[in-house]
Amino acid sequence: MSILGNRVVRREDPKFLSVGGTYVADLDLPGALHLVFVRSSMAHARLASIDTSAAEAAPGVVAVFTHHDLGLAPMETVVGMTPEAMTQPILAAGTVRYVGEPIAALVAETREAAVDAAELVVVDYEPLAAVVDPRVARRDETILFPDAGTNTALTLDMGRDEAMFDGCEVRVQQVIVNQRVAPCPLEVRSAAAFVTPEGRVEFRSSTQAPHGVRDTLARALALEPDDVHVISPDVGGGFGAKATVYTEDIVVGWCARHLGRPVRWTETRSESMLGLGHGRGQVQTATIGGSRDGTITAFDLAVLQDCGAYPGMGTVLPFMTRTMVSGVYTIPKAECSFESVVTNTTPTTAYRGAGRPEAAAAIERMVDIFAAEIGMDPAEVRRRNLIASDAFPYTTPVGTVYDVGEYRRTLDIALDVAGYDELRTEQRRRRDAGDPRQLGVGLSCYVEITNGIPEGEYGSVEVRPDGTVVVRTGTSPHGQGHVTAWSMLVAEQLGVPIEDIEVIHGDTDVVPRGVGTFGSRSLQAGGNAVNQAAIDVVEKAKDIAADLFEAAREDIVLDKSRGVFHVVGTPALARGWAELATAAVAAGGNPLLAEVDLASPGPTFPFGTHLAVVEVDTETGHVTLVRHVAVDDAGRIVNPLLAEGQVHGGVAQGVAQALLEEVVYDGDGNPLTANLADYSFISAAELPSFETLFTETPTPVNPLGAKGIGESGTIGATPAVHNAVVDALAHLGVRHVDMPATPERVWNAIRDAAERKGA
Amino acid sequence: MRVTITVNGTVESHDVEPRTLLVHYLREAVGLTGTNVGCDTTSCGACTVLMGGESVKSCTVLAAQADGADVTTIEGLARPDGRLHPVQQAFREHHGLQCGFCTPGMVMAITSLLRENPAPTERDVRLGLEGNLCRCTGYHNIVAAALAASADPESRS
Ligand code: FES
Ligand code: FES
């Protein structure tokens, strides 16, 4: 019987549950110095002077460094697309552009000494006008980078087809703010470095991509990749924001080399809220058109992306938004243009979904607005426009090719499980009764792209002479459960118990190559690589077995139920993996090993339907999520327990964006949500248990038939909950409420609608 | 100053600065790093331990205030024979953890919650965990684990 598809509990867990994980801050580094950053308290200012003398003289302080001491080149542009004139210097060089930007690095014998001395660094700021709103930034009245001459870092304008809405009976436009949110992995950023007697930099990092850290750090410090060894020990969550290297990481590496002593750095949460990249941050102008029979014929999305102060990953995410612009619908004409602009705020980066939740939010909100406009049930409008399951591969108007889909099925299941008709009846009852607690039902039919920047992945499987197996993977899990999932894949191919399989990740010496874990790519890329390596190692074993049995190779069979090889017809004469691995070493000295550098199997397009039920207290504006039904299709599910866990986490983050979370700045660029007391991080008390179901439509794109599942939760849940809030208020005349639908926003929307009606 | 705390049944005595927090005492003086720090505003609960049998956020307690107290951390929760505590066991069976960073605090908070309320409803558990943040699990399986553990009479010990 196959182990795949079973709810196998995690092999990772006993350690975490009994003694806790080993995160970077837990590493024992004898003699390590503590690094603390002095950060800008101003959003935009020239640095007239930085006086470090008092700090340098403070007890326990080893050194204080500013930009000129380092002599390092600025951060690299993002895939060559962002302007050279806007790259971030390593420690601020003359100008600060956001609150929290590192200005000086202070190294001391203890953390306390470093924190105390950091207070003594005197920074003389000459304030400049700050630009916080991207709508203002694009006007170029205050320019962040005079050498660039503009605040626009990147644009994509495919040329508007002015005629695209010609002939539409109905045409509606809405400006939608997809607000800036904070990723908030529970472990903040942390790094440590020391230099070996041979001059090699040993680097420890809380990262999603250790090989990327190795290569980036090597380039930044003018070293060869082989001169850097990166280990990511246990990592306390990343959600995209730990997929890239930060300036602080480079300073940690530089200080360890410069001082010749181990250096460690762990930011505080308050620093993390300013330093770790933020997610989302789009202002969308969406236009939808169609006919009164419910057919949607045109959709246009103009995106204004907030890059924050230095264009990073966030700048290029609108490409992903564009890729998914028309969602699950057969819209004949659809286009998406974008402009990414810098502002005096924390740089934006990838955050769970990274450009796709923004796309789903836009189209799904607009489908509801279209439905309201023509007075049709939103489920019915969706049904009429879904791409049919026999239309795949399906090419969208922007050229995206969807692999496979059964969109209608997930919609039907969601409606059925939720009891859609009963919900509508109850909604009508409450409306008729004028109940202060109104019911809202929100739908989101989504499709997204995983492994969207197609890269390959490394995987290897080695059988040791004692019969145990070691798997090396280029993915870098931080909660996803790859040790368990990859063990299952290998157990399936080799016929060995998962307990005999060791999975190694996150060490750039032991795993020679790797891309990492982000973009819901791991199972598709890394899992398929490991699966292929397992298949290859079985083939190699058969060669050896043929020699041992003195039989024809094609007569050798692997009995997976026992994990032994034999000649067809003589199962009693069998040889196990240990014997074959021993024979391999004896014969050629080489271990029984298969390595695979999987070329990218290409992206896949997970899809599904989420349905949210909310209660809105119309007297206070308070929204309660009552139910959330998620029907997701990620192709073949290797371990439903892990897949559900991914959905749960993503849904919670999606609900958080819809109802609670927002990074807020005042007009001068001062952050108002710079710690976990002020930022509305969603808690257990604000959520129900979720109803999660899967359909399994395997993708033809990769041998496992698997698609990504890591981000569907945020992509599907956010618009479903958002739509539910507006749906609860529709009869009051509310057409749109921006996220997060806080009590204040909801209450104001009800009042404004009442005033419009009264007027 | 010298602070003596019984940690997981072992008497620990260390010289610390008066401003040293209990969480740093545990992590640095005692060397038990299972207890994590996730914030600086008493918001996340990653640092939750039991002090005198009740859950406290160890980032808000000075080591000096814990002088003479009995403290249990995640490392001390399993049975002497190595068997996991029912709450730990339930976390595993219900996939109540992903990255694991919130887990020690969550497990300690639930252990304390079940001692106070041995038969909680889902709502009780959710409200009881309001001060313990998790970014990975959406709380779904943490709540499921807590409810499952509450069915085990041993979870009260
Ligand atoms: S570290 Fe104690 S509550 Fe966050
Ligand atoms: S498991 Fe990662 S924060 Fe809870």
Find, among A209, A38, A168, the residue nearest to A108 by Cα: A38
Helix (H) or strand (E) holding A712: helix A712-729
Domain boundary among B25, B44, B75: B75
Does residue B81 belong to any structural domain of this protein? no
Atom of ligand 1 nearest to the CA of B36: 1
Q: Give me the residues of B, 21-60, that contact A with CB < 8 A.
A: 27, 33-44, 46
Instruction: For residues B60 and B125, state if they share a domain.
Output: no
**CA A36 distance to own-chain centroid:** 27
* Low-confidence stretches of chain A (pLDDT beneath 50): none
- Chain A residues closer than 8 Å to B102 by CB: 186
All structural domains of chain A, each given as residue ranges with its CATH number in brackets, are 14-128+186-237+242-275 (3.90.1170.50), 279-451+603-758 (3.30.365.10), 455-598 (3.30.365.10)
Spatial separation of the C-alpha atoms in residues A581 and A467, rounded to whole Å: 7
Do A605 and A592 touch, CB atoms closer than 8 A?
Answer: no
Q: Which residue's CA lies nearest to atom 3 of ligand 2?
A: B134
What is the average pLDDT across B10-36? 97
Domain assignment of residue B14, yes or no: yes
Give the pair of three-digit tokens for residue A734.
Answer: 């509310």
Nearest residue (by CA) to ligand 2, atom 2, is B99
Same domain, B90 and B151: yes
Number of domains forming the structure of chain B: 2
Round the average pLDDT of chain B to a whole number and report it.
96
Decide if A343 contacts A131 (C-beta within 8 A): yes
Which CATH number fits the domain that encloses residue B95? Answer: 1.10.150.120
Q: Is B57 in the pocket of ligand 1 (CB under 6 A)?
A: yes
Query: Within an 8 Å CB–CB cutoff, is residue B139 touching chain A?
Result: yes
Residue of A nearest to B42 (CA): A677
Domain boundary, last residue among B75, B108, B140:
B75
Ligand 2 and B36: CB distance under 6 A: no
Mutate to test the pocket of ligand 1, among B27, B37, B108, B132 (most ligand atoms within 8 A of CB): B37
C-alpha–C-alpha distance, residues A653 and A643, integer Å: 16
User: What ligand is nearest to the CA atom of residue A236?
Assistant: 2
Q: Are the C-beta atoms of residues B21 and B61 closer than 8 Å to each other? A: yes
Task: Tokens for A469, please give them.
Answer: 């197996």
Which residues does B84 contact at the CB level (< 8 Å), separation at least 6?
A: A14, A17, A18, B77, B78, B92
B104 and B134 fall within a common domain: yes
Helix (H) or strand (E) holding A536: helix A528-549
What's phi and psi for A45, nearest 5 deg? -165, 155
Q: Does B137 touch chain A (CB under 8 A)?
A: yes
Give exposure, A253-278, as e/b (b: 16+ Cβ within 10 Å): bbbbebbebbbbbbbbbbbbbbbbbb
Verify that B96 and B132 share a domain, yes or no. yes
Ligand 2 atom with the shortest distance to the CA of B99: 2
pLDDT of A16 = 98
CB pairs under 8 A between A and B: 179
Average pLDDT rounded to a whole number, residues B2-27: 97
What pLDDT score was predicted for residue A759? 67
Total-model pTM: 0.97
The residue range of the domain holding B140 is 86-156
A102 Cα to the center of ligand 1, angstroms: 24
Same domain as B114, residue B93 = yes
- The Cα-based distances of A754 to A374, A616, A730, A738 in angstroms read 21, 16, 12, 18
For residue B58, give the ligand 1 atom closest to its CA: 2
- Sign for the CA dihedral angle at A200, A206, A211, A217 comes to negative
Q: Which of B16, B19, B39 is the best residue to mutate to test the A interface, defined by the most A CB atoms within 10 Å of its own CB?
A: B39
Q: What is the CATH number of the domain that holds B13?
A: 3.10.20.30
Ligand 1 pocket, B13 CB below 6 A? no
Q: Which of residues 61-90 of B touch A (CB under 8 A)?
A: 74-75, 77-78, 84, 88
Residue B137 lies in a domain: yes
Helix (H, G, I), strand (E, B) or coil at A34: strand
ipTM confidence score? 0.98
Give a yes or no: residue B15 inside a domain.
Answer: yes
